[in-house]
Amino acid sequence: VLASQTLLLQTEQSLQGAQRPPAGPGAPPAEAVVGTVLEVGAGLDGVKVADRIVAIGSHAPVQVCDLSAGAAPNFAFHVREADWATAALAVRTVRFGLRALHAGRVRPGGAVAVLGLGLTGNVVAQIFQDAGAEVWGVTADPEAAASARACGLDNVVLAPPEAEAQALREAAGARAFRVAVAARPDGACLLSCAAVCQLHGQLLMLEPARDVTADDGVELLRRLHFRWLHLCGVSEWQPAGAAGGPDATLDQSLDQAFALIRGGRVRVDRLLDGRGGGRAVAAVIDWRAPAAPAGAPSP
C-alpha cells in the first residue's frame, strides 16, 4: 500500500550527469526520471494512474516518488505521450537555468560569460542567449565545446581553467561582462569569473564551490571588494524563509521550462544524446530496453 502523497512509477528513462548536489538528505541520485504512473497514494491530487510524468527519482525500473511536503523537493510534471522522453528529462535543468536567468538581471545585448559547459552550464548559456544576451561560453573540454556549438551557442572558447580568464578576454575583445556564471564547482572558476566581470558586475554561483584554497578565498574577497562585484548564489529551490524570488509557482516554472524545450529554444537533444555533433554531456538510461546500456548503473 502506497503511503499518502506518493506514487509508483514505471520508469522509461532516467538522467544522470548534472553535478548539482542532491536537493536534501535522502534525495535520490537521478537528475530526473520519466515514466508512467502505476499507482497513486491517498491524498495525491492532480496525478492519476497511467499519467506520463517527469519527476526527481532514482535509477530504477520501478520506483516510488514521494511528493509529500516533508520529503525532499520533488514534482510530478505531466508529459504528453508525443513528447520525447529525453527532452522531458531536461526540464529540471532548464527550470534551474531560468532561475539563474532571473537572478542574473541581464539586459538584452548584455555580455554574459559562462565558465563551464557541462549540462547545467550549457543549458544556462542557451537560456541567457535565448533571452537576448551575448553569451560567451568557456570550457576546457573539446567535446563539451562541440556540444555547446551544436546547441547553437554563438561564442565558445576552449581554454584550461588556469588560462580561461585571459583566453576569454582575448576572444571577446573589449566586451565588458555584466554577468559571469560560475558553472563549475571550484574556487578557480569563481576567481576567473571575478576577473572577467566588469565593475559592479554580477557573479552567479550555480554550485557550491569546493576546493577553495585559502589564498584563492582571500583573492576572491579582494576582487569582490575592490570591483564592487555582486556574488549571488543560485539554488534550485527557493530557500525556506527567503523573501522574493521568482514569482512563478513550481508548475508554472516547469511549464515555462518545457515550453523552451518544445519550442527548440533550448536544444537538449544535442546535449543529452549527442545528436548533431559533440558528445552527450549527461547520460540517459533507457529502462525500456531489455538490458541497460553498457556503463549505465545497474538497476
Partner 1 sequence: MNARFVVVKEAYDARVLCEELDLSGLGPHHIAVEAETSLITAGVEVAIFAGRLPGLSRSGLFAGYPWRSGHAMVGRVVAAGARVGVVEEGDRVLCLGRHASLQVYDATMFRPASVVLPIAEDTAPEVAVAARIVRVALLAMRASAVRGGEVVAVFGLGLVGSVTAQALAMGGARVIGLTTSALRGRLAQAVGIEVIVAGSRGEQRARLEELTGGRGVSVAVDAVGAPSVFDQCARVCRPGGRVLLLGTARAADGTDLAHALALVQQRQLEVSGAYEWSEGFPILPHRGTPSLWWDYYKALQLVRDGRIRVAPLLTDVIQPDAVPGMYRTLLEGWRDHLGVVVDWRSGRGAGARA
Are 183 and 207 spatial neighbours (Cβ–Cβ below 8 Å)?
A: yes
Site for partner 1 in 202-221 (CB under 8 A): 205-212, 214-215, 217-218, 220-221
Calculate helix-pair angle for 119-130, 91-104, nearest 10 degrees: 60
CA dist., res. 101 & res. 54, Å (int): 23
Select the residue interacting with partner 1 from 222, 252, 288, 289 (CB under 8 A). Answer: 222
For 182-222, the DSSP string reads E-SSBHHHHHHHHHHEEEEEEEEE-S--BS--HHHHHHHHH
In the complex with partner 1, the residue whose CB is nearer, 176 or 289, is 176
CB of 220 to partner 1, least distance (A): 8
Sequence-distant (≥ 6) Cβ neighbours of residue 292 within 8 angstroms? 285, 286, 298, 299
C-alpha atoms less than 13 angstroms from C-alpha of 32 in its C-beta half-sphere: 25
Give the C-alpha distances (Å, rounded to integers) separating 218 from 34, 198, 229. 44, 19, 15
CB of 56 to partner 1, least distance (A): 17
- Interface size with partner 1, residues (CB under 8 A): 41
- Please report whether residue 26 would count as binding partner 1 according to CB under 8 A: no
CB of 182 to partner 1, least distance (A): 9
CB of 218 to partner 1, least distance (A): 5
Q: Are strands 32-40 and 52-55 parallel, antiparallel or unpaired?
A: antiparallel
CA dist., res. 299 & res. 296, Å (int): 9
In the complex with partner 1, the residue whose CB is nearer, 49 or 218, is 218
Select the residue interacting with partner 1 from 16, 19, 130, 227 (CB under 8 A). Answer: 227
CA dist., res. 215 & res. 222, Å (int): 11
CB of 264 to partner 1, least distance (A): 30
Residues 87-106, mask of contacts with partner 1 (x by CB under 8 A): ----------------x---
In the complex with partner 1, the residue whose CB is nearer, 246 or 276, is 246
In the complex with partner 1, the residue whose CB is nearer, 242 or 291, is 242
Which of 267-279 are b and which e, b meaning 16 or more Cβ less than 10 Å from the residue's Cβ? bbbbbbebeeebe
- Please report whether residue 111 would count as binding partner 1 according to CB under 8 A: no
User: Nearest Cα to 261, choosing from 76, 90, 70?
Assistant: 90
Site for partner 1 in 58-87 (CB under 8 A): none
Are 123 and 266 spatial neighbours (Cβ–Cβ below 8 Å)?
A: yes
Q: How many CB atoms lie within 10 A of CB 26?
A: 9
In the complex with partner 1, the residue whose CB is nearer, 200 or 288, is 200
Site for partner 1 in 232-271 (CB under 8 A): 232-235, 238-245
CB of 213 to partner 1, least distance (A): 8
CB of 149 to partner 1, least distance (A): 28
In the complex with partner 1, the residue whose CB is nearer, 65 or 193, is 193
Q: What is the CA radius of gyration of the chain?
A: 20
CA dist., res. 217 & res. 44, Å (int): 46
- Please report whether residue 190 would count as binding partner 1 according to CB under 8 A: yes
Select the residue interacting with partner 1 from 50, 199, 291, 294 (CB under 8 A). Answer: 199
In the complex with partner 1, the residue whose CB is nearer, 163 or 221, is 221
The residue ranges that bind partner 1 (CB under 8 A) are: 103, 187, 190, 199-200, 205-212, 214-215, 217-218, 220-235, 238-245
